[in-house]
């Protein structure tokens, strides 16, 4: 089966070459990620020839299209058809928006009930291999819904597509997480590290992640805030609200380092939606 040399792979190769990695090292990384020798040869030949469509790694321009709500005129509410979502807080760098009235209490309960019987120790994407692994920094339990798996999920996904002006098909499946007392997720980035050998494999499914929306389904009694250490921001996990943030390139300069602070008392349940740059399969 022929493996296509995508623009994302070319950009990754350019960025790695600019960072000082050799062509033999890039070849080894691609082989480790499962790329066939023929596709590897084509990609590296284009790279060495200065492929004209590749973006300059030393100065990646901002993406021309990014997910996010229409905030023209600084609206207090955004009409998404089935409800009016509140705009509670905004920040420009990093681009962070806190939404209120994003989910009803009934929707929160329905998602928790459907997820509860399928919970397992949360995994994280392993960018060294392209697979999933247990991570000591993440001590929650979780599960994934398929897109449109049930009526509640379908309605929520359609709402988010309208709110964030991003195609529904570009979203990963909705993830539900439960944080018991003491559980946390230490600060991390949601984009896939371009320097890791497994990243080209991950990008085949839909390109880079470009935005995250964390929605709070059940608030704990104490603790559990979503934190942004680079800017000193903490978002309280209030039921029915959500925090959205985007990152136009996979780099710490986006200031999107974030984490889930430990739950001190009670349980925190969240739903997370990650958005990709193209259709996620």
Closest CA to 94 of 241, 212, 214, 217: 212
**pLDDT class for 53, splitting at 50, 70, 90?**
very low
Q: For the chain, first and last CA: distance in Å?
A: 18
Q: Which helix (H) or strand (E) holds 274?
A: strand 268-276
Residue 57 has pLDDT above 50, yes or no: no
Per-residue model confidence (pLDDT) at position 273: 98
Residue that wins the pLDDT comparison between 19 and 184: 184
Per-residue model confidence (pLDDT) at position 41: 75
Cβ distance 110 to 241 under 8 Å?
no
7-16, 102-111, 140-149: least confidently modelled range:
7-16
pLDDT digit string (tens) for 193-250?
988 888 999 999 999 999 999 999 999 999 999 999 999 999 999 999 999 999 999 9
pLDDT digit string (tens) for 68-83?
999 999 999 999 999 9
CB environment 77-101: b (16+ within 10 A), e (fewer): ebebeebebbbbeeeeebbbbbbbe
Token pair for residue 131?
């697979």
pLDDT digit string (tens) for 138-180?
567 899 999 999 999 999 999 999 999 999 999 999 999 999 9
DSSP 43-68: HHHHHHTT-TTSPPGGGPPPPS----
Token pair for residue 5?
């040399």
């Amino acid at each position: 089966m022929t493996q296509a040399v995508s623009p994302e792979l070319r950009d990754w190769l350019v960025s790695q070459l600019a960072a000082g990695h050799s062509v033999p090292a890039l070849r080894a990384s691609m082989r480790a990620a499962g790329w066939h020798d023929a596709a590897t040869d084509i990609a590296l030949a284009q790279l060495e020839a200065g492929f004209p469509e590749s973006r300059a790694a030393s100065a990646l321009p901002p993406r021309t299209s990014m997910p996010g709500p229409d905030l023209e005129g600084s609206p207090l509410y955004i009409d998404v058809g089935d409800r009016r979502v509140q705009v509670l807080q905004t920040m420009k760098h990093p681009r962070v928006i806190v939404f209120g009235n994003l989910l009803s209490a009934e929707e929160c309960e329905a998602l928790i009930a459907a997820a509860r019987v399928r919970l397992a120790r949360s995994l994280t994407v392993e960018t060294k291999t392209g697979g999933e692994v247990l991570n000591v920094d993440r001590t929650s339990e979780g599960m994934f819904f398929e897109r449109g798996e049930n009526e509640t999920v379908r309605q929520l996904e359609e709402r988010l597509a309208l709110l964030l002006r991003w195609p529904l098909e570009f979203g990963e499946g909705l993830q539900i997480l439960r944080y018991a007392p003491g559980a946390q997720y230490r600060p991390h980035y949601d984009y896939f590290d371009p320097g890791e050998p497994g990243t080209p494999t991950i990008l085949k499914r839909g390109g880079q992640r470009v935005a995250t929306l964390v929605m709070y389904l059940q608030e704990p009694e104490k603790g559990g805030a979503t934190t942004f250490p680079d800017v000193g921001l903490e978002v309280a996990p209030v039921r029915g609200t959500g925090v959205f943030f985007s990152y136009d390139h996979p780099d710490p300069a986006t200031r999107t380092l974030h984490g889930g602070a430990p739950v001190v008392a009670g349980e925190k349940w969240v739903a997370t939606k990650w958005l990709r740059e193209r259709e996620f399969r």
